[in-house]
């Protein structure tokens, strides 16, 4: 019978594997690979993610890596933009792309804007419209409008971005850059074809090293891939199993170490959409059931703060001419010592994000 693992053990294990129990000395490239990419739907969150995890993080490293194409921003897991290594872009995209291609032809996509369109025809014409050189979203929308004059151009643009294996090119994603996306084919930007030999089994093993132990539904929530029970069956002795407090089967890499549930967990501010929050079907290992944080709640650039390893509230940072203020909304009253830790870490984050402004902290 599989060992039962308590939720607090899952919490500390997740934080440990996410490098959120203590800042690590990994390089940016090493950490991005270990975490199988960083959620980067917006520009700022991956910088917060790296600052919260790496001791002495320098954001210029990310900008330089985007310029030299060692890191890229690409639509992958859950149909969202991720910051990943060039190698991962080439080897993960072939697994995710078939799922992305289904999105524009689902019922309700842009209120039925693609009804009657043929997927193979749209893909072929889209490849011609995109060409071999990077294209801004505005220009691609213009080309799509000319190609399909009777269709909603924004809907057609979004359909093409799901159908074509593309990535965003810099300056989008660089430190302090607010440029709109420019898109390029993976192969033309990286100068190499996609790696279709990379096993999905290896991808799931990497997920478990960064997010495990986890159920097959957790794996699917993270990736949107299907057929994952077959993958874990194939992995066999490379995995071990646990049972959570609700009797569900959790899988982990065979050499995975569970963290001590009594390990202290420092205050940590996460970027909106951080994968630590959104990569499990059952999020109670990091999110109290009565304090739900969803993509919708983060749509206004708000995200979660962790206290004792669990989400304790939401924060946002706003700027005036001379001041940058972190405003915190807590789900419950906390001890004065914890408030002091929240303020110290919050002010440090503001100084990192807005070094030329006076930092301020407030609780709503």
Residue 225 lies in a domain: no
Residue 301 has pLDDT above 90, yes or no: no
CB 194 within 8 A of CB 90: yes
pLDDT at 297: 63
Alpha-carbon distance 227 to 205, whole Å? 15
CB 5 within 8 A of CB 213: yes
Beta strand 182-185 pairing with 239-243: unpaired
Q: Domain boundary at 190, 215, 230, which?
A: 190
Task: Compute the CA torsion angle 294, 299, 300, 302 (nearest 10 deg).
Answer: 40
Question: What percent of the chain lies above the pLDDT cut of 70?
Answer: 97
Residue 34 lies in a domain: yes
First to last CA, the chain: 48
Residue 296 has pLDDT above 70, yes or no: no
DSSP string, 171-203: TTTSTT--PPPEEEEHHHHHTS---TT--HHHH
Alpha-carbon distance 169 to 109, whole Å? 26
pLDDT at 86: 98
User: Model confidence at 292, in pLDDT bands (50, 70, 90)?
Assistant: low
Domains of the chain: total: 2
66 with 178, same domain: the answer is yes
pLDDT at 112: 87
The helices-and-strands tally (H runs, E runs) of the chain is 14, 14
DSSP string, 336-347: HHHHHHHHHHHH
Indicate the SS3 state at residue 42. coil
pLDDT at 300: 62
44 with 179, same domain: the answer is yes
For residues 231-247, give the mean pLDDT. Answer: 96
For residues 135-150, give the mean pLDDT. Answer: 94
Indicate the SS3 state at residue 123. helix
pLDDT at 299: 59
Q: Domain boundary at 190, 209, 234, which?
A: 190
User: Model confidence at 147, in pLDDT bands (50, 70, 90)?
Assistant: very high
159 with 30, same domain: the answer is yes
Altogether, the residues listed in the chain come to a count of 364
Residue 64 lies in a domain: yes
41 with 175, same domain: the answer is yes
Q: Domain boundary at 142, 175, 190, which?
A: 190
Residue 252 lies in a domain: no
Residue 7 lies in a domain: no
Residue 221 lies in a domain: no
Tokens for 258? 């569970």
Residue 121 lies in a domain: yes
Alpha-carbon distance 262 to 337, whole Å? 19
Tokens for 234? 């194939």
39 with 164, same domain: the answer is yes
pTM to 2 decimals? 0.94
Residue 271 has pLDDT above 80, yes or no: yes
For residues 151-174, give the mean pLDDT. Answer: 94
Tokens for 230? 């077959």
Residue 230 lies in a domain: no
Q: Residue 124 sits in which domain range? A: 23-190
156 with 35, same domain: the answer is yes
pLDDT at 319: 93
Residue at token pair 């301020």? 360
User: Model confidence at 180, in pLDDT bands (50, 70, 90)?
Assistant: very high
CB 141 within 8 A of CB 161: no
* Burial of 1 per CB tally in 10 Å (0-12, 13-18, 19+): exposed
176 with 27, same domain: the answer is yes
- The closest alpha carbon to 179, from 116, 145, 134, belongs to 134
């Amino acid at each position: 019978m599989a060992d039962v693992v308590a939720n607090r053990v899952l919490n500390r294990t997740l934080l440990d594997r996410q490098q959120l129990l203590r800042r690590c000395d990994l390089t940016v490239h090493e950490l991005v690979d270990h975490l199988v990419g960083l959620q980067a739907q917006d520009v700022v969150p991956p910088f917060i993610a790296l600052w919260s995890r790496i001791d002495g993080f320098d954001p210029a490293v990310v900008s330089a890596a985007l310029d030299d194409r060692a890191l890229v921003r690409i639509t992958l897991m859950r149909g969202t933009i991720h910051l990943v290594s060039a190698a991962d872009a080439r080897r993960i995209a072939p697994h995710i792309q078939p799922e992305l291609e289904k999105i524009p032809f689902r019922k309700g996509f842009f209120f039925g804007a693609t009804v009657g369109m043929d997927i193979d025809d749209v893909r072929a014409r889209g490849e011609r419209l995109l060409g071999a050189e990077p294209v801004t979203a505005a220009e691609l929308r213009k080309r799509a409008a000319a190609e399909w004059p009777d269709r909603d151009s924004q809907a057609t643009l979004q359909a093409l971005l799901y159908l074509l294996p593309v990535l965003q090119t810099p300056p989008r994603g660089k430190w302090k850059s607010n440029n709109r996306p420019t898109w390029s084919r993976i192969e033309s930007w990286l100068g190499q074809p996609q790696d279709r030999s990379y096993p999905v089994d290896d991808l799931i093993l990497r997920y478990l090293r960064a997010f495990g132990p986890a159920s097959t539904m957790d794996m699917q929530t993270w990736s949107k891939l299907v057929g994952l029970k077959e993958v874990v069956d194939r992995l066999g002795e490379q995995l071990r199993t646990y049972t959570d407090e609700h009797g569900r089967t959790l899988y982990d890499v065979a050499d995975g170490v569970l963290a001590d549930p009594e390990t202290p967990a420092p205050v940590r501010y996460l970027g909106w959409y951080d994968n630590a929050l959104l990569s499990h079907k059952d999020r109670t290992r990091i999110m109290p059931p009565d304090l739900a944080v969803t993509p919708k709640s983060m749509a206004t650039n708000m995200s979660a703060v962790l206290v004792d390893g669990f989400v304790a509230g939401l924060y946002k940072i706003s700027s005036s001419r001379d001041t940058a203020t972190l405003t915190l909304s807590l789900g419950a009253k906390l001890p004065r010592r914890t408030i002091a830790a929240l303020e110290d870490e919050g002010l440090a984050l503001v100084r990192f994000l807005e070094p030329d402004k006076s930092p301020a902290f407030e609780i709503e």
